[in-house]
Amino acid sequence: MRAVLLTGFGGPDQLEYREDVPAPQAGPGEVRIRVAATAINNTDIWTREGAYGTPGDPSGTAGWRREPLAFPRIQGADVVGRIDQVGAGVPRSRLGERVVVDPMLYTGGERELVDTEYLGSERDGGFAEHTAVPAENAHAVESPLSDAELATFPTAYATAMRMLNRANVGSGETVVVTGASGGVGSALIQLAVLRGARVVAVTSGAKRERALKLGAHEAVDRNSPDLDAQVGPVDVVADVVAGPAFPQLLRMLAPLGRYVVAGGIAGPLVETDLRTVYLRQLQLIGSSFGTHEDFAQLIGHVERGELTPLLAGTYPLHELREAQRAFTAKDFFGKLVITVEDAA
């Protein structure tokens, strides 16, 4: 089959397009999917770069579990396609089913989520013609959206759902969303609005109007020198950026406010005055990938047509290097997607 192999940690040159990769087979309890579309995530870039550090060395090279990664690996977590093979124990009636894949490959409760395998990281993913996953991770979906549009949802929206659930965001609360033009940020806007929250989007001036059209009640320039005074006080900060703005983000929280973080695009190593945390009795909440329950909740929103897919562009499989370069440039709003059927 055609696939793009990640051959080691490093730059886009570590991605190798090939047409002679053995196709996976569905094992017991698994299904094989003929991939139609797979979205690109920050995790793909950070995994390729080995940018997660190790427990003893923040600058160390490792995968997202902060462990060595096995190469070659086929990346791509956000898979949409149709089941074309079922393993033992899976009903043949599932053949031909249109599915969206939950990329978190764990069993048990949410504690297991922390050490889970992730599709495209510990197991081959969707930057290929076929991928195989546990049958329960392949969610049948009824939707008029295109395959590429559906592929914009899995990781970004499940991550956003997890953040809002972890922070227990409720109706009437004010939520600040950083990185509002990215995949998780734009998902946070939509999902928080669905809960009845008031959303303040932090983004570039050029992308302000897009955030407002998506449902944000207010949008502020991320480069404002007095960001905390301009925005606060608020109930929740949902952050994927961190970096130098971290102290400001904490200062904009009202007493008993919650800060939930699922990324550090602007820098993962931060400093703050801990007196801000304990004197104002703030909660600092770590969050990463969504649980299976979060994903099922997300699929419900998708099937009811309650979410807007933000498809910024598509690339054929053999142009994955170029697509990842475009992704890191961040000159778009929403998600970039690889459409496998267009590969040549």
Asked if residue 49 is part of any domain, the answer here is yes
Higher pLDDT, 249 or 224: 249
Contact present, 86 and 132 (Cβ < 8 Å) = no
The answer on 170 and 142 residing in a single domain is no
Residue 299 pLDDT: 96
The answer on 241 and 179 residing in a single domain is yes
Length, in residues, of the chain: 344
pLDDT at 325 over 70: yes
The answer on 239 and 277 residing in a single domain is yes
The answer on 130 and 33 residing in a single domain is yes
Average pLDDT, rounded, for the chain = 91
The answer on 231 and 114 residing in a single domain is no
The answer on 331 and 244 residing in a single domain is no
The answer on 231 and 90 residing in a single domain is no
Quote the DSSP letter at residue 186: H
Q: Strands 174-177 and 138-140, how do they pair?
A: unpaired
DSSP 112-147: GGGG-EEBTTTB--SSBSEEEEEGGGEEE---SS-H
Domain ranges, residue 29 = 3-152+309-342
Residue 53 pLDDT: 73
Q: What is the pLDDT of residues 153-195, one digit of tens each?
A: 999 999 999 999 999 999 999 999 999 888 899 999 999 999 9
Backbone φ, ψ for residue 285 (5° rounding): -120, 120
Contact present, 129 and 35 (Cβ < 8 Å) = yes
Higher pLDDT, 36 or 332: 36
Q: How many domains does the chain have?
A: 2
Backbone φ, ψ for residue 202 (5° rounding): -105, 115
The answer on 132 and 169 residing in a single domain is no
The answer on 56 and 120 residing in a single domain is yes
Give CA–CA dist 90/19, Å, rounded.
29
Residue 98: strand pairing partners: 82
Q: What is the pLDDT of residues 284-304, one digit of tens each?
A: 999 988 999 999 999 999 999
Three-state DSSP at 342 gives: helix
- CATH number assigned to the domain comprising residue 271: 3.40.50.720
